């Protein structure tokens, strides 16, 4: 064979190298066949130093944005802690929602009065205050009954006239 290849199979020196990558120099082997741990590159210390400086600057900026570590030593520094003196006072709560509030147990009362001829509805004279608690037979509302009373008088007059006509008709026959 003109050219020989070196591999772990045909090189007896290579096969004796331990698997951890490091060989002891026993003096039998040439130095070029020994595995030597790699030396750190020249720029690795510079990269490490630059990384440390960048991390220090970023850390300083984060601490500075979050309020620092105590600042200039003043005790009343309000940028770190918000302080409010507590005092007794009335509690005010405001609701700013719109809508209707209804009871869960409502009783609906409907006006069954007919409007007077020529009017659009029945006029209300007095009503109980909104939100008042009422019981059975309590006053709720008073309608204007003048038109109803007037119609009642007219109807009573008509009935009386018809009754008189019936009596007169019976007496003639």
Tallying the residues shown for the chain, one arrives at 173
Residue that wins the pLDDT comparison between 138 and 28: 138
> Residue 94 is encoded by which pair of tokens?
């405001």
Q: Return the pLDDT at 68.
A: 61
Tell me: pLDDT of 96 over 80.
Answer: yes
Q: Return the pLDDT at 123.
A: 83
Q: Return the pLDDT at 166.
A: 94
Contact yes or no for 115/122 (Cβ under 8 A)? yes
- DSSP state, residue 132: -
Q: Return the pLDDT at 124.
A: 86
Confidence class for position 129, pLDDT limits 50, 70, 90? very high
Q: Return the pLDDT at 120.
A: 78
Instruction: Give this prediction's pTM.
Output: 0.32
Nearest to 122 by CA among 131, 132, 112: 112
**Please, what is the average pLDDT of the chain?**
76
Q: Return the pLDDT at 112.
A: 78
For 27-37, what is each residue's pLDDT tens digit?
555 556 667 66
Q: Return the pLDDT at 162.
A: 95
């Amino acid at each position: 064979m003109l050219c020989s290849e070196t591999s772990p199979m045909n090189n007896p020196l290579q096969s004796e190298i331990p698997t951890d990558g490091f060989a002891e120099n026993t003096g039998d082997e040439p130095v070029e066949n020994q595995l030597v741990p790699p030396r750190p590159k020249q720029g690795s210390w510079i990269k490490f130093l630059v990384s440390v400086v960048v991390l220090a600057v970023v850390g300083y900026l984060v601490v500075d944005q979050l309020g620092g570590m105590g600042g200039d030593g003043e005790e009343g520094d309000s940028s770190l802690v918000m302080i409010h003196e507590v005092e007794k006072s009335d509690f005010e709560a405001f609701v700013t929602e719109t809508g209707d509030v209804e009871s869960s147990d409502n009783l609906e009362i409907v006006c069954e009065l007919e409007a007077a001829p020529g009017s659009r509805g029945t006029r209300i004279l007095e009503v109980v205050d909104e939100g008042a608690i009422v019981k059975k037979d309590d006053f709720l509302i008073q309608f204007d009954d003048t038109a109803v009373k007037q119609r009642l008088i007219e109807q009573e007059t008509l009935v009386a006239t018809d009754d008189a006509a019936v009596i007169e008709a019976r007496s003639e026959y």
